[in-house]
Amino acid sequence: MIRFPACGPLWLGSVAVAAAALSACGGSVNVVSEGGDANLMLAGHDPVAYFSAGMAVPGRIDIKTEHRDLTYRFASDEDRRQFISSPDRYVPQFGAFCAQHMAYAVPVPASAEIFKIIDGKLYLFADARAKLYFEMDQARNLDRASLSQYCQARDANWRFQAFKRQMFRVPGYKSDAELADEYRKRFGRKPGT
């Protein structure tokens, strides 16, 4: 018999209700709804500007395009033209979820303002600390996120996948506390100082 902590009818019922509710909402990309744009990527930031300006630049509501049923906004008509000519060059990796968390198959919405360009691809992070932890072992984290972990998450409802990964961790999972401890051991200081 499989036993779960605090396992009882109420606990199992709560898990079942949560799983059903989570499977009914959200998709496999990190989008927001703003104005008339229900599936707005990058919280309305210009995807081309990450590459050309090296920073997150808000797009204009009147300069936008659709790509794979998602809306992208742009700061200029030229950026929009560049995107249309080669959209896959500019779209964020992992559906705009945090690259650090995706290494553990946990889709966590990323900030459109915290990013890194790696090998010509745009990666976003939930916060500055997530980016710091990602960079601590960038090659390993990128491999983990790109291969098996993202494959688990991309076709699933992101909220359900995140809930599932809170219950059942992938092998090699490290908590924020463990990552902070690893950072201190490697660099002799607390993360972010």
pLDDT tens-place string over residues 62-104 = 999 999 999 999 999 999 999 999 999 999 999 999 999 888 8
Token pair recorded at residue 148: 């098996």
**CA of 134: how far to CAs of 53, 67, 116, 176, 181, in Å?**
23, 28, 10, 11, 14
Rg (CA), the chain: 18
At residue 30 the predicted structure's pLDDT band, cuts being 50, 70 and 90, is confident
Amino acid present at 163: F
Residue with tokens 């249309």: 84
Return d(Cα 152, Cα 170) in angstroms, integer. Answer: 11
148-174 per-position pLDDT tens digit: 555 555 566 655 566 565 666 666 778
Question: Considering the entire predicted model, what is its pTM?
Answer: 0.76
Which residue ranges make up each domain of the chain? Answer: 29-91, 92-183
